[in-house]
Structure 1
Amino acid sequence: MKKNILLIGGSQGIGFSMAQKLHQDHNLYVASRTKEGLEGLQAKHIPFDVLTDSLDVTLLPEELHGFAYCPGSINLKPFKMMSLETFEEDMQLNFFSLVKVIKTVIPIMSEGSSMVFFSTVAVGTGMPFHTSVAAAKGAIEGFAKSMAAEYAPKIRVNVVAPSLVDTPLAGRLLSNDRKREMMSERHPLKRVGEADDIANIAVFLLSQNSTWMTGQIIGVDGGMSTLNVS
């Protein structure tokens, strides 16, 4: 029997890569602002903006076996230049909207189901100019561990914490060859991440191959969080 998987934000970047890997072998539901790029996939698209909409569960199956929340932000500035509004916006998109959606879908998560959230390497490894995004993603990590404890053994909850990934979200940081080279050199594996690098781990966490994993923060970061090779 095909499992029912819901992706929040699966029309580009890591979410789209996940959709490409999941659509053939699962009943895939993608809730996002646009369905551009999804036309060729076997997926049901649900128009949805996490900041303004409430998710209509009548458009979902009676039971979900997997869930992933993909929306995120990258606001990198010195703290003195970071407005309070930016902190509030990052927290709203990354954390509070996640909580709102979880409140909606938790009643239909099945026994043995899996939830996957996304953080950043900057939560566990202090980095300058990351105060806002690290705070918002740090909230996700704490929330995920508490949820994993509260809902075990019924629902597994894990977090993927990437470093810089070549997606539209990171376009400004990788806008030319010089920037790409500089960002690549910061990583022990000497390249920035690709969407597939992160999607592969997220799909694994949604699968039956990870049924003894919950409450984990998994770094997929080219060695950034644990190695110093400079």
Structure 2
Amino acid sequence: MNTSVNTYIVAGASSGIGLELAKILVKDSMVYGLSRTAGALNGNANYRHLPFDFLSDEKLPEISGKANAIIYCPGSITLKPIERLSVSDIERDFAINAKGAFSFIKSYINNIKNTPNAAILLFSSVAVQTGLPYHASIAMAKGAIEGLTRALAAELSPNVRVNAIAPSLTDTPMAQALLNNETKVEANKQRHPLKNIGSPQEIALFANHLLTQSTWITGQVFGINGGMGTIIK
């Protein structure tokens, strides 16, 4: 185990953006990763996997000691027209996104409260600030994340910084149904002014900067979205 004082608690560290961020952090810090599966970092001396399903009603595992930051990465992609959208769809998206983030923060806030430059990082979606067809469920769930980000930034300052990242479509396992052939990939690239799909590695690098290099940023939601919703081209 790394003897560094740097410790990070990452929900969703086994896949996608969460995995890429954990890969960066684990190079010189201790990372506790909460997810259903162990993932690629299992066995790394600086990584400890804690099995947990954020759709369950179980109590989150206890983690002792101080941490520098807590990061909640789990998400969902539910794309349905309003006629097909069900209450169970809404409840599931809210559970894994908003309720999960709340429970995660509540469980580990005491790990970071007395740490210098402590941080909380959450993940929203481009669909909150940009109206997109068939995104009603995820827009509502991630909208709650953005509200939570700003409310906690006010409540916890000046001791804890709270920010969120709102990506557009990113090349992760969760998004593979939208990227599983060249036609879909090209069509989704063309929807973005920068004509590309989001990179989990690039988003993880930005997240790492917010966590380890920034000291004067809080209450912000950063759109990493290839220009979608900001410019028209």
Q: Please tell me the TM-score bracket, short chain as reference.
A: over 0.9
Q: 2:231 aligns with which of 198, 208, 227?
A: 227
- Say whether residues 1:94 and 2:104 are aligned partners: no
- Say whether residues 1:119 and 2:124 are aligned partners: yes
Tell whether the 8 Å contact from 1:2 to 1:25 is kept in structure 2 after alignment. Answer: no
Structure 1 unaligned runs (5+)? none
- Say whether residues 1:18 and 2:21 are aligned partners: yes
SS at match of 2:68: strand
Once residues 225 and 70 of structure 1 are traced to their aligned partners in structure 2, the CA distance between those partners, rounded to angstroms, is 22
Once residues 185 and 171 of structure 1 are traced to their aligned partners in structure 2, the CA distance between those partners, rounded to angstroms, is 17
Give the aligned CA root-mean-square deviation in angstroms. Answer: 1.1
Tell whether the 8 Å contact from 1:66 to 1:114 is kept in structure 2 after alignment. Answer: yes
Query: Per-residue deviation at 1:40?
Result: 5.3
- Say whether residues 1:2 and 2:30 are aligned partners: no
The 10-residue stretch of structure 1 (26-35 or 160-169) with the greater mean CA deviation from structure 2: 26-35
SS at match of 2:164: strand
- Structure 2 equivalent of residue 56 of structure 1: 61
Query: Per-residue deviation at 1:37?
Result: 1.3
- Say whether residues 1:210 and 2:214 are aligned partners: yes
Once residues 61 and 14 of structure 2 are traced to their aligned partners in structure 1, the CA distance between those partners, rounded to angstroms, is 18
Tell whether the 8 Å contact from 2:128 to 2:140 is kept in structure 1 after alignment. Answer: yes
Give the aligned residue type for 1:186: R
- Structure 2 equivalent of residue 35 of structure 1: 38
- Structure 2 equivalent of residue 172 of structure 1: 177
SS at match of 2:9: strand
Once residues 27 and 64 of structure 2 are traced to their aligned partners in structure 1, the CA distance between those partners, rounded to angstroms, is 17
Q: 1:83 aligns with which of 83, 86, 95?
A: 86
- Structure 2 equivalent of residue 73 of structure 1: 76
Q: Per-residue CA shift, 1:76-120, capped at 9, x if unaligned? A: 111111111100110011001111111111122124201100000
SS at match of 1:79: coil
Structure 2 unaligned runs (5+)? none
Question: Where in structure 1 do 4 or more consecutive aligned residues deviate above 4 Å?
Answer: none
Once residues 156 and 28 of structure 2 are traced to their aligned partners in structure 1, the CA distance between those partners, rounded to angstroms, is 26
Once residues 23 and 187 of structure 2 are traced to their aligned partners in structure 1, the CA distance between those partners, rounded to angstroms, is 30
SS at match of 2:146: helix
- Say whether residues 1:186 and 2:194 are aligned partners: no
Q: Percent identity?
A: 42
Tell whether the 8 Å contact from 2:149 to 2:164 is kept in structure 1 after alignment. Answer: yes
Once residues 40 and 28 of structure 2 are traced to their aligned partners in structure 1, the CA distance between those partners, rounded to angstroms, is 19
Once residues 8 and 123 of structure 2 are traced to their aligned partners in structure 1, the CA distance between those partners, rounded to angstroms, is 16
Structure with the largest fraction of strand: 1
Give the aligned residue type for 1:224: M
Give the aligned residue type for 2:130: T
Q: Per-residue CA shift, 1:158-187, capped at 9, x if unaligned? A: 000000001010010011000000000111
Once residues 2 and 226 of structure 1 are traced to their aligned partners in structure 2, the CA distance between those partners, rounded to angstroms, is 39
Tell whether the 8 Å contact from 1:18 to 1:200 is kept in structure 2 after alignment. Answer: yes
Once residues 186 and 59 of structure 2 are traced to their aligned partners in structure 1, the CA distance between those partners, rounded to angstroms, is 41
Once residues 189 and 165 of structure 2 are traced to their aligned partners in structure 1, the CA distance between those partners, rounded to angstroms, is 20
